[in-house]
Structure 1
Amino acid sequence: MSDTSRDPSAGWLEGREHFLPVRIYYEDTDFTGMVYHANYLRYFERGRSDFFRMVGIRHAELLEQEQPTAFTIVRMEIDYRRAARVDDALLVRTTYDEVRGPRLLVSQQIARGDELIAEAHVQAVCIDLRGRARKPPKAMVEQLRPYLTPPKATP
């Protein structure tokens, strides 16, 4: 296993949140000079994947288990607030909110300084190699547990 604590490309953790810097290049933009909307999906994916890496969860290792496991996105809601442009330095913030059965609920934001560019609410489902939903491996949930959003107290 690689030591991601020394891998600057993986971002960093602060509390329960993962932070991943993203620089916008010409290739990320459309003919208007603004980031093409579908590219935000890539930035959000990088945030989720690097969060996993930082807490010791590797997609390749999940596939090599006795009961191979993968994830698929079943729902993603994105609100685009502002346009990002060439040379912008953005920060992707990722929080794993909850594991509910086979589902992982994730909140993400992309910001330029204090300015919110886009935010997403994501539902990923843990699946077997035939595409059937299954609960995530217990060891994976335990690795993720310290980073999950604490449940809200009910009155």
Structure 2
Amino acid sequence: MHPLRTTRQDYRIYFEDTDVTGIVYHANYIKYFERGRTEALRASFSDLGALMETDDPCTFAVASLDIAYKVPAKLDDIISVETTLESAKGAKMVFDQKIFRGETLLAEGKVVVAVITLDGRPRRMPEAMKVRMAELTA
């Protein structure tokens, strides 16, 4: 398997991300993963909103998410979200995501994203997306 080039985005941890002890609340890792996937897709399809405005519109929904927490992120940390597209077939994409502070792995996850119609029903990728994803994962 030859995954999509890995994308990486950096974020600072703010008070709003943490509990009273300054440690990132566990659910916020899901937000960081979401930002990483969005930026990875944006790198491949510069205008994500345009996917909803074509003659063959689609959008995305998380179908499953598995996270392993390793080391907590803390207030003022700079974290990096690393996103790799493992596969893209039919109506789903599988992403491998990791969150680092420097070289320290904080959390890792596997996210399955469904391609859906604008009214929320699963659908196969539009042909143009299918071709682009095949190029990226070849």
State the percentage of identical aligned residues. 39
Unaligned runs of 5+ in 1: 1-14, 151-155
Please report the TM-score for the alignment, with normalisation by the length of structure 1. 0.81
Paired position in structure 1 for 2:40: 51
Q: CA deviation at 1:52?
A: 1.1
Report 1:116-155 matches (<5 A): 116-148=105-137
Distance 2:90 2:102 in 1: 36
Please report the TM-score for the alignment, with normalisation by the length of structure 2. 0.91
Report the 3-state secondary structure (helix = DSSP H, G, I; strand = E; otherwise coil) of the residue aligned with 2:79. strand
Q: Is 1:103 matched up with 2:92?
A: yes
Paired position in structure 1 for 2:59: 70
Q: Decide whether aligned partners of structure 1 residues 104 and 57 sit closer, same or farther in structure 2, where only a CA change above 3 A counts.
A: farther
- Is the Cα contact below 8 Å between 1:81 and 1:118 reproduced in 2? yes
Q: CA RMSD in A?
A: 1.4
* CA deviation profile, 1:32-70 (whole Å, cap 9, x unmatched): 210011111111011000111112243311110112201
Q: CA deviation at 1:147?
A: 3.1
Runs of 4+ displaced beyond 3 Å: none
* CA deviation profile, 1:70-90 (whole Å, cap 9, x unmatched): 111010000110100011111
Query: Which segment is superposed worse, 131-140 or 102-111?
Result: 131-140
- Is the Cα contact below 8 Å between 1:57 and 1:140 reproduced in 2? no
Distance 2:124 2:136 in 1: 18
- Is the Cα contact below 8 Å between 2:89 and 2:130 reproduced in 1? no
Distance 2:132 2:95 in 1: 16
Corresponding pairs, count: 135
User: RCO (CA 8 Å, sep 6+): is it higher in 1 or 2?
Assistant: 2
